Chains A and B, each alone.
Chain A
Amino acid sequence: MRNITAQATAAASQPSGADVAVEVRGVCKMYNDVEALRSIDLDFPVGKLTTLLGPSGCGKTTLLKIIAGLIPATSGEIRVNGKVVTGPGPERAFVFQDFALMPWATVMRNVAFGLELKGMGKDERQSIARKYIAEVGLTGFENKYPHELSGGMRQRVGLARAFAVNADVLLLDEPFSAVDEQNRRKFQEDLLRLVELEKKTFIFVTHSIEEAVYCSDRIVILSRRPGRIAQVIEPDIDHNESPDAIRRDQGYLDTVEEIWQGLKRYVD
């Protein structure tokens, strides 16, 4: 396990060697008088799952939405594949905390919605959607409506919709927070399988330390408001092991404990 403290080395948040999918340069965000984020510099390597972790109100979702182009930064810039972004783009796809599924549309139409907005023909987009519906394990539910699905299944729809537009970067905003614990574990395992399969860059916001350590290649810990990078941790989890073995692994448990010790002071 490599553990890097950001304050110690300025270059630490820029992983050496690996290609960079998303660059965050000097991003600050003010909500009126409240400073949400202070000069964030961060690189997200291609094909890795990076988690933004921090106490509630640390601005991790704000940072994710700035990367998504959903809200503007007060200063600083975001580059995706080297290009500065000013709004949402086809190279990024967002998975919403509250799923953001259209209640009047079937699973099929919801999954294909990103393609529908691009003006793709019905047959073509439905065959793509069908593939990703199968990939997230929802085959047979194509003609169901969101209210007929459980929370976990709804978020699978949200995930399939993000996969279907074939973006390079997937942004997940606390995707499991509205999913119950048992479904969440299953979902995390499925997500890791999809990370492996899809070879995309994932940026993942969570407040669960276990989830962060279990899923991520890199964990970026933000401090309490104003959000700054407190620490970058690369948990070296061998995902070839079974999920249950990982959850009992000493390295895994130590990393969870270490992050908790670091975050404890922010919790009142």
Chain B
Amino acid sequence: MVAPAHLDGSSRAVHPPEASPLRQRLARHRASIFRIVSIGLFCLAWEIAGRIPISFAFPTFLETLRAFIEMLLDGSLIAAYGQTLQPLVIGVAISAILGVTLGIVMGLSRFSEWLIAPVFVVLQAAPMAALIPLITFVYGIGLLSKTLAVIMLALPVIALNGYKAVRNANPSLVAMCYSFQGTWWQRITKIIIPDASPVIFAGLRLGLAAGFIGVILAELLITPTGIGDLITYHRSVADYPEMYAAVVSIILVSTLTLAALEAFELRVLRPEKRRS
């Protein structure tokens, strides 16, 4: 169906042969160029808004960028991430393993669905910031409390997504596996999990995003450490560019991590999506 369109020259009509190499290269990278332009426009708007100025506590983009580079060079940003990433990585790892496992188990068995799912539905609806003081009460102000805060935010969404994905696995594929005498284990590993993996991964992405929220909440509400400390400290001494740089950096790290997870998913689990 596609081939004739190329033969009759309609593809050439889009990219005329006499187009310069530069133009061809632009056309090839159009999506990424638009993305860069979008970010560039945002930075420009920020710079203009900072120069008006909206508020004396609102630095311009360039001031923030300078502060960011300074903090990067003097090592304070890197040290802060060393602290922030600890509860985040431990918490998200535990949530991912536990959440995906529980989600799959709930999806496969009605009994465990009744037993476990309500807890996660309640946890997902609960305003977590209100529960963090309770964690501090029980587990103190150390790494354990912060990890728990991350888990409380990340686990429900991962588990519930996994559960819904497995429950909604394509019944026709399940019947196909059954008709070719696939065993119970083959049905789960070869059909249900691959079929559910896009939704499981959507849950992991949401869980990771929730984990970032959890760790920042913990660092702002329990004890200021890492990025939370940078934000709190620079706010208290009115170093607004530094405070904004810290905020923007955590947004950047979060976005890049999520993008990396998405790229991993496409590469490893759903090879057919790469070509479409």
Contacts and interface: CB of A to CB of B under 8 A. Distances in A.
Contact of B176 (A90, A92, A96, A145): A96
A117 B178 contact: no
B-side interface size class: 20 to 34
Contacts of A87: 178
A104 B180 contact: no
A96 B177 contact: no
Interface residues of A, number: 28
B1 interface: yes
Contacts, number: 60
B269 A104 contact: yes
Contacts of B175: 70, 96, 100
Interface string A148-159: 101000000000
B275 A148 contact: yes
- Which of B175, B180, B270, B271 has the largest count of A CB atoms less than 10 A from its CB? B180
A70 B272 contact: no
B186 to A, nearest CB: 6
Interface in A89-128: 89-90, 92-94, 96, 98, 100, 102-104, 113-114, 116-118
Contacts of B195: 102, 104
B181 to A, nearest CB: 5
A100 B173 contact: yes
Nearest to A117: B182
Given A102-B194, A117-B186, A145-B275, A88 B173 contact: no
B190 interface: yes
B191 A102 contact: yes
B32 interface: no
Given A96-B172, A117-B186, A117-B190, A147 B180 contact: no
Given A104-B270, A104-B271, A148-B275, A88 B172 contact: no
A149 to B, nearest CB: 10
Interface string B172-210: 110111111111001000110011010000000000000
A165 interface: yes
B193 to A, nearest CB: 11
A116 B190 CA distance: 10
- Which of A68, A96, A100, A113 has the largest count of B CB atoms less than 10 A from its CB? A100
- Which of B170, B177, B181 has the largest count of A CB atoms less than 10 A from its CB? B181
Chain A binding surface SS class: loop
A230 B167 CA distance: 40
Given A100-B173, A102-B173, A150-B1, A68 B272 contact: no
Contact of B272 (A113, A114, A147): A147
A242 B60 CA distance: 80
B276 interface: yes
A113 to B, nearest CB: 7
Given A96-B175, A150-B1, A165 B180 contact: yes
A92 to B, nearest CB: 8
Interface in A43-91: 68-70, 87-90
A156 to B, nearest CB: 16
A117 B181 contact: yes
B91 to A, nearest CB: 30
Contacts of A89: 181
B274 to A, nearest CB: 10
Contacts of A165: 180
Contact of A98 (B172, B182, B270): B172
Interface of B: 1, 170, 172-173, 175-183, 186, 190-191, 194-195, 197, 269-272, 275-276
Interface of A: 68-70, 87-90, 92-94, 96, 98, 100, 102-104, 113-114, 116-118, 145-148, 150, 161, 165
